Amino acid sequence: MKQKPIFSALPILFGFFIMGFCDIVGISSDYVQRSFGWSPVMTGFVPSLVFIWFLFLSIPVGNQMNRWGRKNTVLLSMGITVVGMLLPLVTYNSTTCMLAYALLGIGNAILQVSLNPLLNNVITDDKLLTSSLTAGQVIKAISSLVGPEIVLLAVNYGGEDKWYYCFPLLGFTTLLSAVWLMLTPIKREPAVAESQVSLSSSFALLKNQTILQLFLGIFFIVGVDVGTNYISSKLMAMRFGWDEDAVKFAPQVYFFCRTIGALIGVFALSRVASIKYFRVNILCCIAALLVMLTVEHDMVNLACIGAVGFFASSVFSIIYSKAIQAQPDKANQISGLMITAVAGGGVVTPVIGFAIGAIGIIGGILVTLCCVLYLTYCAFGHAGSCMGHGPF
């Protein structure tokens, strides 16, 4: 009997939960800093260990996926993640810790390239695909919300110096996800002739002005996401003197609001034109950052952190789905190209770290605001106009 698309989509959607594991870099970077005595600038490179791999691996994996198949590529990513999550248990030092983060990033980069288009294998309706991608972002946001709790669970169990006990918990969950997907029959996508895909042909897609602006849109929305997660606890500590226990509440507020925003987006995007939704949300995001920049009140700033998470929550899925639908016959290449832009998370956070070191926490907020200003241009410029005339 033929399996219904919803049942085939379930293990794929659960894969978005694994995708959210990379967001533990926000809270765990504080423990890494204390464990090894790193400076704020050095600590700013911790997210880079995770997100820089998107820059180097996404396009080659997107092209190679034509040979491997999307499902097999997802399973490969999960295998790499499991290996990385076991390393700190073998021996815990700065080297193995950095290697664990790197393998988490490598696995996550491959996962994001392959998991998003794998939904295309079971969901063919354009509007339903956008909604399903947003549903995936809800699940990813839930994972991001749970991530700090997993880290704190490890701290409560083994003490602050055993925070890395969170890694095997993440690894075991990844293993369960891989087994579920492996046992679920999913029809393989049509093969593409290898002569048609190459690194140069993928980058050639950026000659299309719309694809280029959407590529940069992904770069900066991930920068906003990772950057806000990264500075949230530091903002409350540096500006208001919150202690170590209290500051952990800031990233949780961010992820909770991002989860609610993504959940609302699932339903809103099936009823409202995505370009209108994009424009309204990005303007609200600017407003939240401006208030955060100018008003120094702890609850107001905490609310602004949550507001950025809420209003930015659906932007990634809107931009990504538009890019995929722009040229469906090149979905694998475009997926690799777009996920390359996720490296924005690894580029923006060191810049934030330098800005904080130079002029304080206000520098981190200004860098995040600059990212949002580009997204505003993306929403109201050429790419936004094309979105308004597409299947959205």
Over residues 1-10, the mean pLDDT reads 65
Percent of the chain residues past pLDDT 90, beyond the cut: 27
Residue type, 260: I
Please give the pLDDT value at position 390.
46
How deeply is 238 buried, as exposed, middle or buried, from its count of CB atoms within 10 A (0-12, 13-18, 19+)?
middle
User: In angstroms, what is the C-alpha Rg of the chain?
Assistant: 20
Residue-by-residue DSSP string for 285-328: HHHHHHHHHH---HHHHHHHHHHHHHHHTTHHHHHHHHHHHHSG
pLDDT > 80? residue 30: no
User: Given pLDDT bands bounded at 50, 70 and 90, which one contains residue 355?
Assistant: very high
For 60-98, write each residue's pLDDT tens digit: 887 788 788 889 999 999 999 999 999 888 888 878 888
* CB-CB contact of 324 with 118 (8 Å): no
**Number of neighbours of residue 89 by Cβ within 10 angstroms:** 14
117, two tokens: 């288009």
| Distance from C-alpha of 262 to C-alpha of 314, rounded to nearest angstrom | 5
Q: Where are the alpha helices (DSSP H) in the chain?
A: 5-19, 25-36, 40-43, 46-51, 53-68, 70-90, 94-118, 126-158, 166-182, 199-204, 209-240, 244-247, 249-268, 274-294, 298-312, 315-326, 331-340, 344-359, 361-380, 382-389
Report pLDDT for 380.
Answer: 87
Q: Which domains does the chain have, with CATH numbers?
A: 5-184+196-389 (1.20.1250.20)
Residue-wise pLDDT tens digits, 132-147: 777 887 888 788 778 8
Mean pLDDT of the chain: 83
pLDDT confidence bin for 125, thresholds 50/70/90: low
